[in-house]
Every structure is written in C-alpha cells, then in structure tokens.
A and B are shown apart, each in its own frame.
Chain A
C-alpha cells in the first residue's frame, strides 16, 4: 500500500509545484501550475463534465442496485437466473463494454435507433451530438451496477432473520419493514456504495471516454482523468497533471464528506 499508493501520491503532490517533463530534473514553480490549470478553459469544461456525470449516475446507480437487490433477495424459483442477468453487463471488460455501446449507439449500424424508431420515438445522434454524448455515456454506466447489487445482497443476508420475524410479529407492513428495518440496517452498505461510486467515477469515465468518444465531440465528454492523461503523457507536463490530481482529490474528498453528511441522517455513525 505504501509503495503503490502513498509514495506515488506524495510524489504527485510534490510535483504539482514544479515544472517537470519526466526527462530532466523538476524545477520549482510554486503555485503557477494551479493558476494555469484553473485558468484553462479545457480544465473547467472537464470539471463541469465530470461533476455532471457524477450527479447523473451515482444516485441512479445506488437506487437501481438497491431496488434490484430487494427484488431478487428472497430465494425462489428463477431468482438465480435473474441475479446473473443483472450481473452480466458488469463482468464485461471495460474496453469490450465501451465497444459494444459504441456499436449500439452507432447511428447507421447500431440497433438502438431502429428500436426507438419502431416505438415511434425520435432517434438522436447520440455520441455525434454535443448535447447527447454525455447523457449517452451516463446511460451506459447504469447497466454496470452488478457490484453494488452484490454488495447490497450481501448486506441483506447479514440482516438476521430474527429481525424480520420480530417485525412481522409487530404487525409491520412491507413498506414499513423496508423503511424502518431494512434500510437502516443497510445504511452503512449503501453509504459505502455511494462513496465508492463517487470515487470510482473519477476513473471509470476514462475508458469509455477514451474508447468511445476520445473526449469529443468538441470536448463534450472530456473528463478530468482523460485531460490529465493527455496533459501528462501527450505534452509531458507532469507538474500540471499533478496539480490537476491534487484538485481532483480535493473535490472528490469534498464530495465524499457531502455524501457522508447527507446519508448520516439515517445511518448510524457509532458503527464507524
């Protein structure tokens, strides 16, 4: 952990204050990198895109995982099949997944627009259009919720049967059981899931953006990780890339605190 994370992070933070091309020794620049990065319109675009993506996907992903886990929690005929079905898109490797969606969205060869047309719905240009490209990428993220699904299932199994017995003896209805028993007991799991999603989004946007859109059209799907990748490895401006890293970490940290606070109302902190 120290070697793989701590040392690299410390190096990154140090580099954020230098001009470093990876080839010659770093030169101290103070805060100049941060000033340049914050003044860069591309970084602002990427920041807004990333936040939009998080806001679009994280709540929906957690809600979907919870809903499906509740639906397929009780063992009964066919449930095993449904569970596997939900998990299928998640095991698809990122590059293959991006490629498949690239094809599904393809305005000429893909199956999505004929499907929409047969339902009488309009057929957008998806990844070609600056307005629909980011929502399209967000849509693809909603199908890979198997991990959250499994986590919530595991959480549900940890809830002792006795609790449900007690609850039904008390005469609580299904909704009341859900609200007063299941959700509070699941709260730490859901919180963990939400936090994890926020963080993971900081890097899962990388592969689809790289494979499906290259950040386009015209920066509509340029996310911070992709920009960092380009600035660092295309232009060999490690210092600027590191400054972006530090900013990214700060924002993700703030988001986590926000999520934790927002969820704290019905979680039980003493567990932590």
Chain B
C-alpha cells in the first residue's frame, strides 16, 4: 500500500515535470502556418518532420551543437579538479584564514554576471581571449563558481579529521591525501558538482552573447535566440529548434549517473584539463580580414551573404566575415559593447535613426573624403534624401545603401475575396479604413482574419502625423520636446489608435502576442501590413497567395517616411583600405544590383533604382515603382543621438494606448514627461 502511494505520487510528479516536454515535441512537428488549435493537440494528424530539416538549413545548428558540447565537456572535469582542490585547501586551513576565504567566496558569488559583463570583457580582450572558446571556459579557473568550492569544502569538513591526520603522519603529501583519501570519499559531491557544472556551461547564454562574435564559435543558446528573432511566432520551427537543443543534454542526463562516477578518475581529470590548457585556439592571419555586421531576418542574411561572395570573387585579397544579428535591439547593444571594448566590426550597417549616437561620440570614420576620392561612385549619383540623412555636422559620416519608405503590403487574394479593388494610387485614410473593415470578418472574441497589422511605434505613426499637418518635435534640427500634443498630431494619433480600439481591424494584445502581424500576413490571414522594403525577401517566399504594395493612404498633405541604412566604418579599424574597398563595392552599381535583386533594398543610387534591377516586372512586388514615387515626399525623423531612446519610450506609451491600457491623452502626457529626460542631455 505504501509502495503504491509512493509510486502514485512519484508518477504525478514525473508527469508534471515531463508532460510539457511531450507537448513541445508534438507542437514541433505541427504544420507551420496552421490556425491555432482549439484543444490540446497530443499529436498532430500529419506530423511535419521536415520542420527539423528546415531548422538545420536556416541555421548552422550542427556547428553550434559541437561547440556547446565541447565547452561543456571540457568544463566539467576542469571544474571538479579546481573546485575540489580549492575546497580541500580551505578545509585544511586554520580557522581565521578559512573564515576570510569563506567570506570572499560568498562575496564573489554575490556578484551577478551582469555587473562584470563589460569590465570582464576588457580583461578578456587584454588576454586575447575574445571570440575564442577560451572566453567561454575562462570561469573554470575559479572552479566555475565559488558555490562548487563551497560544496567540496562542506564535504571535506565532514570527513573524519582523523583520516587526514593519520595520512599526514604516514608522510603523505597534501596532493596525495586529496587524491587518495578525500576525493574517493566525496563521490556524491563530485556527482553533484559535475551535473551543476555541465548545466551551467550548457545553459550559458550571457557569456557567448557578449564574448563570441563569429558564427563558427557560437553555441546553441545563441543559435536559438537568433532563431527566435528571425521569426517571432513561428512556433513549430522555434520548438523544433528548442528540441534539437534539449535532446543531447537530456540523453546525457539519462546516462549521467554512470558516466560521472567514472569522470571522478584522477587520470581522466588531468588529461582533460590539459586539453583545456592547450585548447585555446590561436587566430591565423594571411589575407586582410575584415568583418561586416548586419541585422535582418534569414532572407536578408542570405542577401548579404551573396553580396559578400560577389565581393570576395572580385577582390580575393580581402576576406570578409559576415556577423549577423537578427534583432535591431540586440544589434544596438552589441554595437555599444563592441565600441566600448574597442573591437567593433570593420564595416557596420546602421540606420539613420541610430548612427547619430556614435557619430556624436566621434567613433565613426567620416566617409565623405573617401567618397570624394572614389573613382567608382560619387555623391551626386545618390538620392539626396539618403545622403542628407547621413551628413553629420557637414560631413558625410556613412555611405547610404538604400532609401525605402513605409508602404502598405496587401494580400491580393483576400482583397478579391472581400470584393475590394486594389488600392488606388491616391487612396485616402477613409478608403484605407473601409478596406480594413471589409477585410476583418465579424466574429467572436478571437477573429481568424484581420484587415490590418502594424508595428506600434512612433516611427510607424510619424507619416500619419505629417500627413495631417502635425509634427513629431518642436524643432526637427535641434528638438527640445515632443510636439504630438498639437491638435493636428493628436487627431492623427487618435485616428491611428482607433483602428485597433474602435474599429478593431487590427489584432488586439492577446492576438498579437499569440501570433505576430507579420506571421499572420505570411500565413494569409492578414489583409494589409505596414512595412518598409525590408520585408520583401521574406515575402517572396510566399507561395499560397499573391501580394503587392500600395502607397500610404493620403490625408491633408502627402508625406512619407524615410527609411535608410548606410555602411559605416569605425575609427578604430586597422584595415581601413580593405574596409573601404568593401563599402565601395557594396555601394557601387554592381553591388547595389546584387542586393536589389534579393528584394531587400530600394537602391540609394538613382541609376540602379530606376533600372530593371529594382523595377523588374517579373519579380514581386509588381508595384515597386510605388517606392520611387514616394521619394520626393519623404521626411526624416530628427537625427540626434537621443532619438533612439525617445522612440523606444514613445513606443511603449503608444502601445498602451493602442491596446486600450491608457487613453490617448494619458499616453501623450507620460510620453512628454519621460522624453524630457532625454532631450538635450549630453
């Protein structure tokens, strides 16, 4: 009876801990793009095992896997060795120094990694360990964690003192006592520390996030974050990635109990530690090597890989390694750290909304003089709107690659099904709203289809404010405060928010969190999506329906919003000639044609933008000319260092208003108050 009760309890506990894993497995083989399930799906009717193949083609997962395993399996024996030795030494010390060491260990353990993140980076840089597996393994030198030292300390303290004393009397040295007497008695502690260490290194996300740059040395934790940022709510694929990451370690876990005992063998420990010592790879240098850092999703990354390949074919003397960060937020932090540590990539792609912070600090090499000397490209070949956005205090800071604008992507099939004609060139806000309503079928609380999807941000709202005759800030050249509280701007904001709050043509908070607007568009369940040209490489993968772009609807005056990115070169770059050669190629007609063919950019060179390379009638969107027709009406957001932060906080407040958690006026008031902390700050 007691046994039965025990097993009932045990099985319940096991179920609570394991069933979510089975759910995950089932969900990872669900067909991507299906509408949400109505009940728990224990197993999909038609499992799509191809999801796993897709994850491996999307990312170099095999390499990540090997790196993770290598790091974790080197760290375990090294940690057991270092931590047990330290613990043993502490146990032998007289009380006073022991107390001091204990206190020190506790204090050291108190320091969260976030606190030493940057400063540790500086130390690692001095040791030339950045971007090596040595950086990931560095903590083994302190036993990985003082906690492990303490575990061994407690254990050794509990062993009968008489044993150690007797051994000492027999003339055994400290090392032999540790190896022959203390360690064999401490097997439970060794097992515990081994498990904990393995998990620590396997799990480690923050260290590789910062100390590893190249794809070849990235670990799985980093890979999954990349996957998430590539496709926020594509659950089957994301969960397949998660399963790939979990499986090896789960298998290992089932084997651990036997394996870890054997690892406690002294010779194995020493051998593996020697490997760690020797395993720090040394960088080789033959050609000029430069790195090129970009942001964007998988399809965009592929476009830049092509650009790099083309360049390498023409200039074999320069080796370019592509550093790809999917999310703009992570991109910004990564740049901040890289600059602070003095190791930014040699060529970086930056939006005009973001480069000012770096230009103001004087860490960017002004490229105007380089461009003036170029025999391949000249400033007058570029659209002036793109060039002006990157002119910092009279000098061109970076060379623009594109100038896009905000357009309406629409699902032609859904338009036809709703009996709508394609948007006219001069459609109005009202036409836009009518279309959105027609595309949102009435339904219960959760609607399967929506008329409109948009990111909720100041950057998306801005063109509507301008069209209504409003302004974002008091003075675009030297802003001192937000100007969204003027009647014209406020009216535009109210109209924008009403799209979701009153007309409910856009997903609400729960729906958007459940599946992103972009995901809904890709799956054919969203009529219109606001985005710049960036989305095109991804949307070209759509096969289930036809789509096109339309200009923004109009109001009092015509206005669009400038989207532009440029190639920038940090001042600290050593191989300046090689970096410039790459920038020159990337912004030359040939380079721009390569990138334009991928669909990613509206070329910044007028000649390329107005050529079939961009206007190719055989490629979607058919209406690419809409981007060019917007150019004369483009306006830019203020180019000042604090703008990124102002946009970020404004976005938070707008989101509240959009989902009805604050009124428009509350949002405006909070926004103004919070923005005051940023404007005009050094």
Interface residues of A (CB under 8 A from B): 1, 3-9, 11-12, 15, 19, 21-24, 68, 71-72, 76, 78-82, 84-96, 99-100, 103-104, 106-109, 111, 114-115, 118, 125, 127-128, 130, 143, 146-147, 150-151, 153-154, 157-158, 188-189, 192, 195-196, 199, 202-203, 206-207, 211, 214, 216-219, 225, 228-230, 232-236, 238, 241, 245, 248-249, 252-253, 256, 271-272
Contact = CB atoms under 8 A, between A and B. Distances in A.
Interface residues of B, number: 109
Interface string B658-682: 0001000000000000000000001
A5 B111 contact: yes
Given A8-B119, A88-B17, A93-B220, A203 B154 contact: no
Given A1-B141, A86-B13, A232-B118, A103 B111 contact: no
A45 B118 CA distance: 24
Interface in B217-240: 220-221, 224-225, 228, 233, 235, 238-239
Contacts of A86: 13-14, 17
A205 B652 CA distance: 21
B513 A89 contact: no
Contacts of A241: 118
Nearest to B252: A91
B678 to A, nearest CB: 9
A216 B456 CA distance: 14
B141 A245 contact: no
B332 interface: yes
Contacts of A91: 198-199, 202-203, 246, 249-250, 252-253
Given A199-B109, A202-B112, A78 B7 contact: yes
A38 B675 CA distance: 18
A12 B206 CA distance: 18
A108 B446 contact: yes
Interface in B21-71: 21, 23-24, 27, 36-41
Contacts of A15: 119
B104 to A, nearest CB: 9
B417 interface: no
A4 B109 CA distance: 12
Given A21-B361, A108-B511, A103 B257 contact: no
B515 A228 contact: no
Contacts of A11: 119, 122
A71 B6 CA distance: 8
A78 B509 CA distance: 45
Given A4-B120, A5-B116, A125-B510, A23 B9 contact: no
Contact of A272 (B102, B253, B339, B644): B102
Given A90-B199, A128-B509, A225 B112 contact: yes
A16 to B, nearest CB: 10
A153 B195 CA distance: 13
A143 B17 contact: yes
A103 B14 contact: no
B239 A99 contact: yes
Dominant secondary structure of chain B at its interface with chain A? helix
Contacts of A125: 509-510, 513
Contacts of B514: 106-109
Nearest to B146: A1
Determine which residue in A6, A103, A106, A127 has the highest number of CB atoms from chain B within 10 A of its CB, and name it: A103
Nearest to A21: B361
A233 B336 contact: yes
B192 interface: yes
B93 interface: no
Contacts of B334: 233
A203 B147 contact: no
B357 interface: yes
Given A4-B123, A22-B340, A93-B246, A157 B188 contact: yes
A90 B203 CA distance: 9
7 contacts: A19-B682, A96-B224, A107-B514, A154-B191, A199-B110, A207-B206, A248-B115
B226 to A, nearest CB: 10
A198 B5 CA distance: 34
A219 B674 CA distance: 14
Nearest to A10: B119
Given A93-B224, A154-B188, A3 B109 contact: no
Nearest to A2: B142
A228 B151 CA distance: 30
Nearest to A260: B106
B224 A95 contact: yes
B333 interface: yes
Contacts of B116: 4-5, 8-9, 12
Given A11-B119, A81-B14, A192-B154, A23 B106 contact: no
Contacts of B138: 4
Contacts of A157: 188
A19 B655 CA distance: 32
Given A95-B221, A100-B20, A128-B510, A151 B114 contact: no
Contacts of B576: none
B246 A114 contact: no
A151 B151 contact: yes
Contacts of B202: 91, 93
B224 A99 contact: yes
B339 A22 contact: yes
B645 interface: yes
B333 A85 contact: no
Contacts of B189: 154
A103 B106 contact: no
A109 B36 contact: yes
A71 B37 CA distance: 37
A106 B515 CA distance: 9
Given A9-B115, A158-B155, A192-B150, A80 B10 contact: no
